[in-house]
């Protein structure tokens, strides 16, 4: 594919991922047109000022709940990178209908508007929270993932391909535990939910690179999963707030002790492709087989943050996030 001949839109383009993705696309990929689609006019204004010298950049105020506005924004677009979501677990639990309207209804709107506009490729951002979800956020993201994969059944005439990614916690993103530890370290004491807790971790730049590479690799119907390091919450706290005391407050509602990116029941459909996995759909009504070079994982294979052989200690985490 040729990025320089493509028009690209990023939903949720003023978020942590969205801004990093815009910067990467402008610096290295040079799309013909790059559209930021989001609800926040203040963030768009700040972003537009920072990137005022970028003539190919456009800003659209809009909500993914608004199908008509999406159809207008997607006119002439070749690639959709769907990053907009309600993602804060407590907020989704307290406002469940709002989470469903954005994360599920918004996904439906993206699918229908993309098919109507004749978009070439749509890739959606997923999360480890949608594997055997224990909270509403994870449940809505699981439904959205299924919608995007099966949308390939609807798009045979338009030729639109839909795929998704799954990855773990983005270090130092808005609302992350690193922000909490950074705010607490001045007091000399940080709060831990459970020192045994583990999480997959990556930087936002690694997440952006993986999504953009997945756009190039996708054929339609895949779930792309990167191979990531894991870390304990205790080591993360030591890296960010070294020398501080720890107070254990217990796992919060909607949290898991460990996260999974691939469940055992999915193993029959998983290809190991070197530095990433591809989960193919067992319900691939739109085509017989996806052509990816990889080997089938053993039945019962699982990819979880506690059994992951690639682990980071506090020094590795410090190098990952830099001197906070």
Whether the Cβ atoms of residue 136 and residue 153 lie closer than 8 Å to each other: no
Whether the Cβ atoms of residue 129 and residue 88 lie closer than 8 Å to each other: no
Query: How buried is residue 249: exposed, middle or buried, by Cβ count under 10 Å (0-12/13-18/19+)?
Result: exposed
Which of 115, 18, 114 shows the shortest CA–CA distance to 57? Answer: 18
Cα–Cα distance for residue pair 171/174, rounded to 1 Å: 9
**Which residues lie below 8 Å from residue 317, measured CB to CB, with a gap of 6+?**
171, 201, 231, 235, 236, 239, 240
Q: In Å, how far from its chain's centre is CA 295?
A: 25
Cα–Cα distance for residue pair 90/171, rounded to 1 Å: 19
Residue 121 annotated as catalytic = no
Whether the Cβ atoms of residue 266 and residue 285 lie closer than 8 Å to each other: no
Token pair, residue 187, equals 């007091």
Whether the Cβ atoms of residue 181 and residue 171 lie closer than 8 Å to each other: no
Q: Of 129, 227, 256, 319, which one is the catalytic site residue?
A: 129
The H or E element spanning position 42 is helix 41-50
Whether the Cβ atoms of residue 295 and residue 271 lie closer than 8 Å to each other: yes
- Which sequence positions are flagged as catalytic? 129
């Amino acid at each position: 594919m040729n990025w320089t001949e493509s028009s690209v839109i990023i939903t949720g383009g003023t978020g942590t991922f969205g801004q990093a993705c815009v910067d990467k696309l402008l610096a290295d990929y040079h799309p013909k047109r790059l559209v930021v689609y989001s609800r926040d006019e203040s963030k768009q204004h700040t972003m537009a000022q920072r990137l005022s010298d970028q003539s190919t950049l456009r800003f659209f105020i809009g909500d993914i709940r608004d199908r008509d506005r999406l159809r207008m924004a997607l006119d002439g677009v070749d690639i959709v990178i769907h990053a907009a979501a309600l993602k804060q677990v407590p907020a989704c639990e307290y406002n469940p209908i709002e989470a469903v309207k954005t994360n599920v209804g918004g996904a439906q709107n993206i699918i229908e508007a993309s098919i109507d506009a004749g978009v070439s490729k749509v890739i959606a951002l997923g999360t480890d929270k949608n594997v055997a979800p224990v909270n509403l956020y994870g449940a809505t993201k699981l439904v959205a993932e299924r919608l995007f994969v099966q949308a390939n059944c609807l798009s045979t005439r338009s030729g639109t391909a839909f795929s998704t990614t799954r990855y773990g916690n983005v270090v130092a993103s808005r609302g992350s535990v690193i922000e909490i530890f950074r705010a607490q370290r001045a007091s000399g004491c940080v709060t831990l939910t459970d020192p045994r807790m583990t999480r997959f971790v990556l930087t936002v730049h690694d997440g952006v690179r993986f999504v953009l590479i997945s756009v190039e690799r996708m054929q339609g119907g895949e779930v792309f999963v990167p191979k990531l390091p894991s870390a304990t919450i205790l080591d993360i706290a030591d890296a960010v707030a070294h020398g501080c005391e720890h107070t254990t407050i217990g796992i919060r509602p909607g949290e898991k002790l460990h996260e999974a990116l691939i469940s055992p029941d999915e193993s029959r459909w998983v290809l190991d492709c070197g530095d990433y996995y591809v989960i193919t759909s067992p319900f691939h009504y739109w085509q017989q087989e996806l052509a990816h070079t990889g080997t089938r994982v053993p039945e019962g294979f699982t990819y979880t943050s506690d059994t992951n052989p690639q682990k980071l200690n506090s020094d590795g985490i410090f190098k990952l996030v830099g001197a906070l």
